[in-house]
Amino acid sequence: MKYLALIFLLAACGESQKTDPAFSPYIQEINQDLNGHLNIKSTIVFGTPGPRFEATCFQENSVIIVDQEKWKDMTHEQRYWVLLHEIGHCELSLEDSELLGPNGLPTTFMFNPSIQIGLFVEENPELKDFLLAPLRGE
Nearer to Zn ion, 35 or 61 (CB): 61
Nearest Cα residue to 87 out of 115, 119, 55, 116: 55
**Distance between CA atoms of 73 and 61, rounded to whole angstroms?**
27
> Nearest approach, Cβ of 115 to Zn ion (angstroms)?
10
Nearer to Zn ion, 81 or 130 (CB): 81
Nearer to Zn ion, 31 or 112 (CB): 112
> Nearest approach, Cβ of 64 to Zn ion (angstroms)?
11
**Distance between CA atoms of 133 and 9, rounded to whole angstroms?**
37
- What is the side-by-side strand order in the sheet with 63-66? 43-46, 63-66, 55-58
**Does 91 help bind Zn ion (rule: CB under 5 A)?**
no
Region near Zn ion per CB under 5 A, out of 15-23, 37-45, 62-70, 109-117: 109-117
The residue number whose beta carbon is nearest to Zn ion equals 96
> Nearest approach, Cβ of 92 to Zn ion (angstroms)?
12
66, containing H or E segment: strand 63-66
Choose which of 33, 96, 124, 132 interacts with Zn ion (CB under 5 A): 96
List binders of Zn ion among 110-129 (CB under 5 A): 112
> Nearest approach, Cβ of 112 to Zn ion (angstroms)?
5
How many C-beta atoms surround the C-beta of residue 87 within 10 A? Answer: 24
- The answer to whether 127 touches 120, Cβ cutoff 8 Å, is yes
β 43-46/55-58 pair status: unpaired
- What does the binding site for Zn ion look like in residue numbers (CB under 5 A)? 96, 112
